[in-house]
């Protein structure tokens, strides 16, 4: 083997003995080793400080003790960082300590697992790069720390050197570092050393030819024997070991230098053949590096995927926690809302009860006030001196000329009296409560009575082209109906339908349609207004053709209300008749003829029939002659015990109308005394109602048998002497002539 070496082995041993002879025989080998180890450690520390700088906000101490150095490397961060500095990405994942403040002196803030991960990753990377490695336990007390130092110095060498010969050196060092303290030399160091040893290390390699194996061995043996001759027997094994170590070190260095020099010469002298060899070697190395690189990349990818998966897991867990939190909150909200809803529901049912109670009380009060209410209204006077001497809230006084020339005074009492200055709104204010009754299921009748020109149409409809202020009871009543039904829409659904009829000469005519008596559904006051306009137009056409017919006919606007309680499902029906009667003035038979006479007869007949009905109601007679006229037939529902009736009595205050006024006021006073009994709400089924009507009809038919066939005599409206008048056989509500 020695023959193959480009230098003499003996001279190499001689050199070693010359250089280290004294020191090899030093009795304090252990301390020398310790010094050497310390020196190597310092080198490692110095290099690490330079490469890594601060880790976790701390620097490696300049001269740490072995224990301190071990502790600072234990979490693997410094080692990983160092390796990554010289080979970026060599250790793909390094877990660092969170902050410098958290880094204790021993450098272990990471969990044991994290430290282990770092160390594992570092050792894998080091091994992959062909660097000498060590056991993790070497960083613990009792471990072989020199192996760690070797590894660091190998990294240092890796960073500084080239690849040639490197791997074999490291492997050598790695495999022997438990026994030797080999210093890994860089090619540069080796070269400089070669230069200093001069003649003994010739680079051409032909010096070895004069040494034969036997000579070498005997000379070598002699040299060694010479060296140990005077040495203590016990020291000898250790000395030999030390000498061998040094010789091996020297050998390594010389081989390295030799190889370097050969490479250099070959590169200069034989570029083509060497280039081929180098190419081959380079391609091998390239392939190896490529594989290593790909492996690293794959590992990095795997690590990245692992990280992503972990992140996803964390995110999933966070979302799950968030969802659970939201679910809990949501449930709490629902419980809270259901509690609120419960209290609102009980409040609403309480409100319903109060509303119901209120309705009952209100209608009781209305009942106590009397079912036929009479209000008197006096319009402004066209003369300077009128017949009305005094009007207060409940009474009206008229100046009545007596036969002896002295003026007497007559006073009449009513539920309310309105003077010429009373506004439409004031008049309606006292009427308003009746409108609510309609929506509560009662039948209501408001009719305007009085002689021609006394102001009936003004009260019921207002003047021609009325505005918001002057509009009459009809419009205001309907407006209230819609307003209240709107207010109650959450509890009761109302359907409102309207009918507008005219009774002229005992003939009923629908003012809204050419067809049969027609109930038109309406949704708003606007609907009603347009219908009323149509009705008035239809009436006006007739009036033009028939000479002031409006004064000679009764007009009746009827509103039917059907309500359904949305909670209980109960239904209620109510209706209101708004009647503008024909003029009530008495017409002397001898003064009129022809159509005018006929009109007067019919008006008087129907008003007499109205008087008769009211009279029989006042006397609580078992039979009430509703069927004596179309008017009383039409108003039957609103004049019986189930209805609430209001009569507006109108007075023309002029002196020349005083007789007619007194007649009117007497009639009205009599009406106001009538007790119809408590009004009843329409909650009966329609069958019951129909049966009641049939009974009433049969009773009426029986009574009529005794009456005279035809009553052509003009009767005053106040007359109750209607007996003897012949009633039409087919005058039921359903057979009204239109
Ligand atoms: N309270 C009042 N304030 C002011 N003007 C009134 C009032 N009442 C009636 N008038 C006016 O008196 C006139 C006659 O009134 P209106 O036509 O209402 O009487 P009427 O009783 O309906 O008559 P007819 O029976 O002929 O229909 C009208 O011009 C009307 O505008």
Dihedral (CA of 621, 433, 532, 686) sign: negative
The backbone torsions φ and ψ at residue 594, rounded to the nearest 5 degrees and listed phi first, read 60, -140
Distance 505 CA to ligand 1 centre (A): 22
- 678-695: average pLDDT: 60
A 10 A CB-CB count for 735 gives: 12
Q: Which atom of ligand 1 is nearest to the CA of 550?
A: 27
Distance 113 CA to ligand 1 centre (A): 107
Q: Is the CB of residue 130 below 6 angstroms from any atom belonging to ligand 1?
A: no
> Which range among 235-239, 317-321, 629-633 shows the weakest confidence by mean pLDDT?
235-239
C-beta separation of 646 from 375 below 8 A? yes
CA distance 598 to 594: 6
pLDDT at 402: 74
Distance 464 CA to ligand 1 centre (A): 10
pLDDT at 396 over 70: yes
Does 616 belong to an annotated binding site?
no
Does 454 belong to an annotated binding site?
yes
**Residue 3: half-sphere exposure toward Cβ, Cα within 13 Å:** 6
pLDDT at 498 over 80: yes
Binning pLDDT at 50, 70 and 90, where does residue 662 land?
A: very high
- What's CA 121's distance to the chain center, in Å? 51
Say if residue 603 is exposed, middle or buried (CB neighbours under 10 Å; 0-12, 13-18, 19+). Answer: buried
Of residues 529, 543, 616, 613, the one with CA closest to residue 582: 543
Task: Identify which of 375, 449, 455, 467 to mutate to test ligand 1's pocket (most ligand atoms within 8 A of the CB).
Answer: 455
pLDDT at 255 over 90: no
CA distance 543 to 697: 34
Q: Which atom of ligand 1 is nearest to the CA of 461?
A: 18
pLDDT at 548: 55
Could you please state the CATH topology (level 3) that the domain comprising 370-694+711-721 is classified under: Kinesin (3.40.850)
Distance 458 CA to ligand 1 centre (A): 5
Binning pLDDT at 50, 70 and 90, where does residue 195 land?
A: very low
pLDDT at 426 over 90: yes
At 574-603, the pLDDT tens digits run 999 999 998 876 666 446 677 777 887 888
pLDDT at 192: 34
Summary mean pLDDT of the chain: 75
| Phi-psi label, residue 53: left if phi above 0, alpha if psi -120 to 50, beta otherwise | left
Does 130 belong to an annotated binding site?
no
Q: What 3-state class would DSSP assign to 548?
A: coil
Residue nearest atom 1 in ligand 1 by C-alpha distance: 379
Q: Is the CB of residue 408 below 6 angstroms from any atom belonging to ligand 1?
A: no
CA distance 168 to 172: 6
Q: What 3-state class would DSSP assign to 477?
A: helix
Binning pLDDT at 50, 70 and 90, where does residue 738 land?
A: very low
- 409-415: average pLDDT: 90
CA angle 289, 290, 295 (to 5 degrees): 95
At 299-357, the pLDDT tens digits run 878 888 888 788 888 878 887 888 888 888 888 888 888 888 888 887 777 777 777 66
Distance 470 CA to ligand 1 centre (A): 12
pLDDT at 703: 64
CA distance 514 to 21: 146
Q: Is the CB of residue 452 below 6 angstroms from any atom belonging to ligand 1?
A: yes
DSSP string, 613-676: HHHHHHTT-S---GGGSHHHHHTHHHHSTTEEEEEEEEE--BGGGHHHHHHHHHHHHHHHT---
pLDDT at 106: 47
pLDDT at 579: 92
Does 455 belong to an annotated binding site?
yes
pLDDT at 201 over 70: no
Q: Which atom of ligand 1 is nearest to the CA of 581?
A: 25
Distance 386 CA to ligand 1 centre (A): 16
- 250-267: average pLDDT: 73
Binning pLDDT at 50, 70 and 90, where does residue 642 land?
A: low
Contacting residues for 39 by C-beta, under 8 A, at least 6 apart: none
Distance 673 CA to ligand 1 centre (A): 27
Does 452 belong to an annotated binding site?
yes
The backbone torsions φ and ψ at residue 280, rounded to the nearest 5 degrees and listed phi first, read -60, -45
CA angle 600, 669, 577 (to 5 degrees): 65
Distance 302 CA to ligand 1 centre (A): 102
Q: Is the CB of residue 548 below 6 angstroms from any atom belonging to ligand 1?
A: no
Q: Is the CB of residue 625 below 6 angstroms from any atom belonging to ligand 1?
A: no
Residue nearest atom 8 in ligand 1 by C-alpha distance: 455
Residue nearest atom 3 in ligand 1 by C-alpha distance: 379
Task: Identify which of 375, 376, 379 to mutate to test ligand 1's pocket (most ligand atoms within 8 A of the CB).
Answer: 379
**Parallel, antiparallel, or unpaired for β 372-378 and 395-401?**
unpaired
Counting residues of the chain whose pLDDT is more than 70, the rounded percentage is 70
Alpha helices in 380-523 (DSSP H): 424-429, 432-439, 456-460, 473-487
Q: Which atom of ligand 1 is nearest to the CA of 460?
A: 18
Does 186 belong to an annotated binding site?
no
At 1-22, the pLDDT tens digits run 434 555 677 777 878 887 777 6
Task: Identify which of 417, 423, 453 to mutate to test ligand 1's pocket (most ligand atoms within 8 A of the CB).
Answer: 453
Residues of 575-596 as b/e, b for ≥16 C-beta within 10 angstroms? bbbbbbbbbbbbbeeeeeeeee
Element (H, E) at 508: strand 507-510
Q: Count of residues for the chain?
A: 738
Does 319 belong to an annotated binding site?
no
Does 558 belong to an annotated binding site?
no
Residue nearest atom 10 in ligand 1 by C-alpha distance: 455
CA 314 → CA 308, 309, 393, 455, distances in Å? 10, 8, 86, 88
Q: Is the CB of residue 583 below 6 angstroms from any atom belonging to ligand 1?
A: yes
**Residue 644: half-sphere exposure toward Cβ, Cα within 13 Å:** 29
pLDDT at 681: 60
Q: Is the CB of residue 472 below 6 angstroms from any atom belonging to ligand 1?
A: no
pLDDT at 608: 86
Binning pLDDT at 50, 70 and 90, where does residue 637 land?
A: confident
Distance 611 CA to ligand 1 centre (A): 23
Q: Is the CB of residue 458 below 6 angstroms from any atom belonging to ligand 1?
A: yes
Residue nearest atom 25 in ligand 1 by C-alpha distance: 452
At 436-457, the pLDDT tens digits run 889 988 888 898 999 888 999 9
Residue nearest atom 7 in ligand 1 by C-alpha distance: 379
Distance 606 CA to ligand 1 centre (A): 22
Reported CATH class of domain 2-269: mainly alpha
CA 473 → CA 166, 302, 477, 522, 554, distances in Å? 118, 91, 6, 18, 16
At 696-736, the pLDDT tens digits run 767 666 666 655 444 444 333 333 323 222 222 223 332 23
C-beta separation of 276 from 25 below 8 A? no
User: Any idea where the domains of the chain sit in the sequence?
Assistant: 2-269, 370-694+711-721
A 10 A CB-CB count for 275 gives: 13
pLDDT at 206: 36
CA distance 630 to 634: 6
Distance 456 CA to ligand 1 centre (A): 6
């Amino acid at each position: 083997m020695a023959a193959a070496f480009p230098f003499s082995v003996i001279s190499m041993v001689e050199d070693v003995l010359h250089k280290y002879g004294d020191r090899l025989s030093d009795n304090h080998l252990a301390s020398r080793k310790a010094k050497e180890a310390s020196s190597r450690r310092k080198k490692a520390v110095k290099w690490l400080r330079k490469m890594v700088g601060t880790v976790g906000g701390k620097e490696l101490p300049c001269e740490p003790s072995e224990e301190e150095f071990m502790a600072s490397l234990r979490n693997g961060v410094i080692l990983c960082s160092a390796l990554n500095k010289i080979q970026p990405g060599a250790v793909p994942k390094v877990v660092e300590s969170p902050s410098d403040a958290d880094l204790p002196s021993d450098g272990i803030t990471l969990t044991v697992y994290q430290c282990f991960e770092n160390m594992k990753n570092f050792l894998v990377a080091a091994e992959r790069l062909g660097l000498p490695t060590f056991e993790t336990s070497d960083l613990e007390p009792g471990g072989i720390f020199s192996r760690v130092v070797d590894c660091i110095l190998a990294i240092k060498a890796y960073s500084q050197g080239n690849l040639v010969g490197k791997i074999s050196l490291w492997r050598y060092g790695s495999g022997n570092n438990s026994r030797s303290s080999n210093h890994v030399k860089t090619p540069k160091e080796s070269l400089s050393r070669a230069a200093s040893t001069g003649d003994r290390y010739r680079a051409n390699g032909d010096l070895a030819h004069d040494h034969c194996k036997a000579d070498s061995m005997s000379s070598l043996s002699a040299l060694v024997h010479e060296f140990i001759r005077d040495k203590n027997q016990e020291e000898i094994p250790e000395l030999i070991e030390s000498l061998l170590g040094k010789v091996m070190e020297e050998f390594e260095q010389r081989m390295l230098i030799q190889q370097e020099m050969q490479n250099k010469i070959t590169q200069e002298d034989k570029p083509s053949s060497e280039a081929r060899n180098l190419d081959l070697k380079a391609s091998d190395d390239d392939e190896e590096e490529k594989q290593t690189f790909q492996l690293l990349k794959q590992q990095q990818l795997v690590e990245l995927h692992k990280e992503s998966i972990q992140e996803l897991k964390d995110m999933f867990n966070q979302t799950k926690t968030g969802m659970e939190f939201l679910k809990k909150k949501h449930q709490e909200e629902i419980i809270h809302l259901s509690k609120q809803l419960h209290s609102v529901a009980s409040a609403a049912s309480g409100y319903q009860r109060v509303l119901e109670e209120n309705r009952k009380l209100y209608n009781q009060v209305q009942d106590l006030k009397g079912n036929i209410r009479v209000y008197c209204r006096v319009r402004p006077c066209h003369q300077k001196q009128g017949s009305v001497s005094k009007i207060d809230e409940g009474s009206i006084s008229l100046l009545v000329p007596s036969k002896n020339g002295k003026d007497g005074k007559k006073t009449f009492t009513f539920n309310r009296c309105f003077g010429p200055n009373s506004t439409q709104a004031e008049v309606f204010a006292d009427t308003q409560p009746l409108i609510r009754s309609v929506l509560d299921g009662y039948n209501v009748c408001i009719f305007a009575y009085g002689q021609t020109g006394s102001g009936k149409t003004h009260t019921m409809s207002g003047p021609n082209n009325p505005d918001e202020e002057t509009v009459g009871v009809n419009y205001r009543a309907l407006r209230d109906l819609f307003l209240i039904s709107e207010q109650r829409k959450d509890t009761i659904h109302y359907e409102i339908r309207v009918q507008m009829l005219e009774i002229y000469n005992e003939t009923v005519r629908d003012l809204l349609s050419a067809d049969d008596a027609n109930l038109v559904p309406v949704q708003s006051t606007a609907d009603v207004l347009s219908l009323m306009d149509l009705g008035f137009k239809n009436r006006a056409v007739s009036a033009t053709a028939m000479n002031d017919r409006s004064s000679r006919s009764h007009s009746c606007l009827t509103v039917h209300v059907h309500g359904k309680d949305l909670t209980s499902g109960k239904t209620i029906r109510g209706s209101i008749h708004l009647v503008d009667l024909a003029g009530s003035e008495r017409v002397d038979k001898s003064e009129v003829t022809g159509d005018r006479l006929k009109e007067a007869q019919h008006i008087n007949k129907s008003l007499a029939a109205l008087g008769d009905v009211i009279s029989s109601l006042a006397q609580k007679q078992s039979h009430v002659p509703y069927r004596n006229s179309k008017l009383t037939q039409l108003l039957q529902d609103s004049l019986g015990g189930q209805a609430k009736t209001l009569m507006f009595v109108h007075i023309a205050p002029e002196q020349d109308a005083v007789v007619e006024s007194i007649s009117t006021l007497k009639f009205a006073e009599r009406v106001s005394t009538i007790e119809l009994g408590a009004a009843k709400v329409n909650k009966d089924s329609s069958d019951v109602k129909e049966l009641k009507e049939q009974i009433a009809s049969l009773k009426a038919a029986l009574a009529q048998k005794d009456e005279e066939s035809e009553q052509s005599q003009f009767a005053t409206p106040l007359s109750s002497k209607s007996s003897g008048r012949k009633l039409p056989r087919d005058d039921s509500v359903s057979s009204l002539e239109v």
